[in-house]
A = this chain, B = another copy of it.
């Protein structure tokens, strides 16, 4: 009869959050972020290795496959600080790929691939296509089976960190149904990858041509489990995007507050003007709501109410992160309009974040179906 608390947060999560916060603060001050923007790979492989060594890539992978057997609630405690410090790594994609394999992989696939991921093999997700639709079943790439070999064709887009990835998990149509295929990066020629120019300059995004690529037929994930795995993938993606957005909003708000409390105009600190002060409060309360949704979603993500919870988190966090970034630019005045001002980093990140896996309007539409029908 005890009422279940809406948010649970274990000792373990608390420790992880603290560690991750300190790690990200140390490794990714904004100057480092700007350096990585200029660097080809877009992230520091040394940092990636440290993350792997900390066991972060295996957090939600069962112990039998080399992970620590925790859950997505623990992953969130890493993703939020990463977002806060704009530390763009393949962490999210790699983690999500592992979950797809866990959900739909055959025993052999799990044994073969999960330990590699847990150790830090960068994994890229190739699920998007040129149409830009958020529906994971809207897939036009194809796979044709020929004996033990699959021959692939078509183009995947917005594949982050594909160049440095060791594994690529792609969606294709196989016999008319959406299938997930594991591709060893070495099966792709370098020329199959084209770097994309995206709004969030901390990202390294690629378009991948699958034309003529062959993979062993054994690399297809279990067809019977693919749909449920994709559904869970959508939820988990939204969860991590929400975590990233919550972290990003917090940093963006702090950056703005710093300016509002030091910049003077008309002989007053500009933060004393209500038009700025009250908006900052609106962002604060919006962010608090987003973070409450986030940790609630992290608590119930694997339960029946998980979908509702995570859609709320994504809707709220997308909207507030975008707004916080927008106001950060505006409130920095002329300086906000320059590349030098960090406000743009957050606003650009928010655009990327919002445009992944559905924006606020999209998720509210789904929520209406869940809650009103």
A→B interface (CB under 8 Å): 273-275, 278
6 A–B contacts from the bound complex (CB under 8 Å): A273-B274, A274-B274, A274-B275, A274-B278, A275-B275, A275-B278
**In the complex, which residues of chain B have a beta carbon less than 8 angstroms from the beta carbon of A278?**
274-275
**In the complex, which residues of chain B have a beta carbon less than 8 angstroms from the beta carbon of A275?**
274-275, 278
Task: Report how far A274 CA is from B268 CA in the complex, Å.
Answer: 14
Task: Report how far A278 CA is from B279 CA in the complex, Å.
Answer: 12
Task: Report how far A273 CA is from B276 CA in the complex, Å.
Answer: 12
Task: Report how far A275 CA is from B274 CA in the complex, Å.
Answer: 6
Task: Report how far A274 CA is from B275 CA in the complex, Å.
Answer: 6
Query: Which 6 A/B pairs are nearest by Cβ-Cβ distance?
Result: A274-B274, A274-B275, A275-B278, A273-B274, A275-B275, A274-B278
**In the complex, which residues of chain B have a beta carbon less than 8 angstroms from the beta carbon of A274?**
273-275, 278
Task: Report how far A29 CA is from B38 CA in the complex, Å.
Answer: 69
Chain B residue with minimal CB distance to A275? B274
User: In whole Å, how far is A232's beta carbon from the nearest beta carbon of chain B?
Assistant: 36
User: In whole Å, how far is A310's beta carbon from the nearest beta carbon of chain B?
Assistant: 28
**In the complex, which residues of chain B have a beta carbon less than 8 angstroms from the beta carbon of A273?**
274
Task: Report how far A344 CA is from B274 CA in the complex, Å.
Answer: 26
User: In whole Å, how far is A166's beta carbon from the nearest beta carbon of chain B?
Assistant: 48
User: In whole Å, how far is A327's beta carbon from the nearest beta carbon of chain B?
Assistant: 14
Chain B residue with minimal CB distance to A276? B274
User: In whole Å, how far is A364's beta carbon from the nearest beta carbon of chain B?
Assistant: 15
Task: Report how far A278 CA is from B274 CA in the complex, Å.
Answer: 10
User: In whole Å, how far is A268's beta carbon from the nearest beta carbon of chain B?
Assistant: 12
User: In whole Å, how far is A10's beta carbon from the nearest beta carbon of chain B?
Assistant: 42
Task: Report how far A39 CA is from B304 CA in the complex, Å.
Answer: 60
Chain B residue with minimal CB distance to A278? B275
User: In whole Å, how far is A242's beta carbon from the nearest beta carbon of chain B?
Assistant: 29
Task: Report how far A133 CA is from B273 CA in the complex, Å.
Answer: 46
User: In whole Å, how far is A361's beta carbon from the nearest beta carbon of chain B?
Assistant: 15
Task: Report how far A2 CA is from B157 CA in the complex, Å.
Answer: 51
Task: Report how far A273 CA is from B272 CA in the complex, Å.
Answer: 11
Task: Report how far A225 CA is from B32 CA in the complex, Å.
Answer: 75
Task: Report how far A275 CA is from B273 CA in the complex, Å.
Answer: 9
Task: Report how far A333 CA is from B273 CA in the complex, Å.
Answer: 21
Task: Report how far A65 CA is from B184 CA in the complex, Å.
Answer: 88
Task: Report how far A278 CA is from B273 CA in the complex, Å.
Answer: 11
User: In whole Å, how far is A260's beta carbon from the nearest beta carbon of chain B?
Assistant: 14
Task: Report how far A275 CA is from B278 CA in the complex, Å.
Answer: 8
Task: Report how far A273 CA is from B278 CA in the complex, Å.
Answer: 11
